[in-house]
Amino acid sequence: MLNIIFIGDINGKIGREAIKKILPELKRELKPDLVIANGENMAHGSGLTLPTVKEMMEAGIDIFTNGDHAFDREKIADLYASDLPVIRPANFAEGVPGKGFLIFEKNGHKFLIINLLGRVFMGMNYDCPFKKLDEILADKNLSKDEFSAIIVDMHAEATSEKIALGHYGDGRVSACLGTHTHVMTADETVTEKGTAFITDVGMVGAADECIGVEKEGIIKTFLTQIKQKHVIPEKGRAIFNSVFIAINPKTKKSTKIKSITKFVEIK
């Protein structure tokens, strides 16, 4: 049986510090074969950088998925062109830097990690994530028999879109895990066809604010309809959201998904 930890959106420095405090002990406890994290908010809430990726790899993360902030940072194309295990959503327009899926080998197993981006309530007109999933799974250069697990990160705003994609990929992928909203949902399940699903894994970031951003500015935005600057605290109580998944490598089917929520004080 393969054990996998998937970590929700890492939000800013406080999120990275929480990873460093919690993940090593969690790995000792659960002994995962692979650790994946959504990293699109790692660099102060907006995108990721080479230093933040290396920092989190040293903390024990193997692979980084992404989202709508995938191109927020300067020189991000250089990062995507490197050999680092960082992917961006596959349904960005053709020709965009980076790759939308990754074949990752570890401990004698091959994993196929796919990143997709929702379109409902999102700011750009991305390609269809449903058709892009079909395209990747039908790729003749990818022999499905060689993979021990196929994991999808569906980064989307709308609950319905994430649930729909979970049903669409049911039985064809080992897990379809929602990210983006920073709020963990309570619907984790393994389907009869063996796909682990959760609408949103949640986040790693400031616990007592508004989805990781200082609440005062967010409240003022709602009161005035004038957008305030997003401020991410670097200290205080942090929340760590993730899911633990067990997958049979022979069948590529999941047998278990369990949500994990922990808190830690960052000083």
Instruction: Provide the annotated active-site residues.
Output: 69
Burial profile 101-112: b = 16 or more Cβ within 10 angstroms, e = fewer: bbebeeeebebb
Q: Is 160 left (phi over 0), alpha (psi -120 to 50) or beta?
A: alpha
How many CB atoms neighbour CB 128 within 10 A? 12
Q: How far is 76 from 42, CA to CA, in rounded Å?
A: 13
Identify the sign of the CA torsion 115, 10, 45, 220: positive
Q: How far is 54 from 258, CA to CA, in rounded Å?
A: 28
Q: What is the DSSP letter of 100?
A: S
In this structure, which amino acid lies at residue 216? E
